[in-house]
Amino acid sequence: MAKLDIHQHVTDTIIAQIEAGTPPWRKPWTGGKGGAAFPLRHNGEAYRGINILMLWATAHLHGFNSARWMTFKQALELGGCVRKGEKSTKSVFYGTFEKEIEGQTGETETRSSRFAKANNVFNADQIEGLPEEYYIRPAPPRDLGTETDAELEAFFAATGATIITSDEPRAYYRPSTDQIHMPPIATFHCAAGYYGTLSHELGHYVLAERRIGTQKAYVNKSEYAMGELEAELFSVFLAVHLGFEPQFDQSAAYVESWIAAMKGDNSAIFKAAAQAQKAFDHVVSLALPTFEQEAA
């Protein structure tokens, strides 16, 4: 049996869903404010980066509602049993190993190398006999209507980003002034669309050169497309964390460029998810303490 190329497997899965018009991050798994809709391991630890997208994709395809995922062995250890005929999902496990190499001086050196391998995991909905808390369903998404949401406004304010509003019908981040521009919320069909778009632009703000530094002011077409993908993934991670459904659309040109990038480099979606995760971690660590202090 040929060895599984996990990077190619993940890339092919996501490309197939994008081409079908259903990218895995465009679904309303928004859950409660605490972020319960993020995929969780058997011990409650949250999955990160590319694993979020892969497990969301499988959950959408098969209609799974539980946030919990685990291996066959972990299910047994918890007193459960995977139902006969259920198929596993690939998750990615990263680890390191050390190897000895001969240095330029002839001395032996020990170097660490990183590797990725696949784990076979099952959703709790595929398993019988688990403790009841493993079947807790995410809360439904909030209907924000057309008015501003005070808690969301406070969170975005706590990020420190300068957000300018005017009648100009465009949303964008301008690196030269380090400002986000947004049209008035009243011009959006719903508030979730407004906050989804604001989250996307906040992704560009956080990933800019003066902060995380992965998105430069002047880029070529390919770099621009990947920057848009990173910002979109960041915005969905943030929407899930804050509890609203992102409802903005990207143009066909963006989608085509993402597919082209992933077909040309099967690590592209991994890189985009990793950058989105880094930006998400940065914003939450920055904004959440201030947000909670003001809410107390």
CA distance 212 to 231: 13
Q: What's the pLDDT at 295?
A: 47
**pLDDT tens per residue, range 106-116:** 677 766 666 66
Q: What's the pLDDT at 14?
A: 76
Average pLDDT, the chain: 79
Give the 3-state secondary structure of residue 169.
coil
CA distance 215 to 228: 10
Q: Is 146 exposed, middle or buried (0-12, 13-18, 19+ CB in 10 A)?
A: middle
CA distance 170 to 182: 7
Q: Token pair 């605490």 is at which residue?
A: 34
Q: What tokens does 259 get?
A: 């597919």
Give the 3-state secondary structure of residue 182.
strand
Note whether 50 and 89 are within 8 A (CB): no
Q: Which alpha helices (H) appear in 33-149, and where do they start and end?
A: 50-62, 72-77
Angle between helices 268-295 and 252-264 (to 10 degrees): 120
Residue of 199, 186, 194 lying closest to 159 (CA atoms): 199
**pLDDT tens per residue, range 182-192:** 988 888 878 88
**pLDDT tens per residue, range 69-124:** 999 999 999 999 999 999 999 888 776 667 776 666 667 776 666 666 788 999 99
| Residue range 274-282: mean pLDDT, rounded | 92
What confidence tier does 281 reach under pLDDT thresholds 50, 70, 90? Answer: very high
**pLDDT tens per residue, range 135-193:** 876 666 566 667 888 989 999 999 999 999 988 888 889 988 999 999 888 888 788 88
Q: For residue 45, give the DSSP letter.
A: P
Q: What's the pLDDT at 35?
A: 35
CA end-to-end distance (rounded Å), the chain: 58
Higher-scoring residue by pLDDT: 7, 204: 204
CA distance 279 to 229: 13
Going 201 to 162 to 141 to 47, the CA torsion angle's sign is positive
Note whether 86 and 122 are within 8 A (CB): yes
Residue of 46, 63, 49, 70 lying closest to 7 (CA atoms): 49
Strands 108-123 and 127-128: unpaired
**pLDDT tens per residue, range 12-28:** 877 777 766 666 665 43
Range in 31-40, 178-187, 216-225, 280-289 the model is least confident about: 31-40
Q: What's the pLDDT at 32?
A: 35
C-alpha separations of 69 from 90, 159, 248 in Å: 11, 32, 29
Higher-scoring residue by pLDDT: 126, 285: 126
Q: What tokens does 200 get?
A: 């996307």
Q: Which alpha helices (H) appear in 168-220, and where do they start and end?
A: 191-207
Note whether 139 and 32 are within 8 A (CB): yes
Q: What's the pLDDT at 146?
A: 72
CA distance 34 to 42: 18
| Residue range 263-285: mean pLDDT, rounded | 89
**pLDDT tens per residue, range 214-261:** 777 767 777 777 888 888 889 888 988 888 876 545 545 556 677 777
Torsion angle, alpha carbons of 46, 49, 54, 55, to 10: 10
C-alpha separations of 41 from 36, 79, 83, 264 in Å: 12, 16, 19, 31
pTM for the model stands at 0.70
C-alpha separations of 275 from 187, 195, 261 in Å: 31, 20, 16
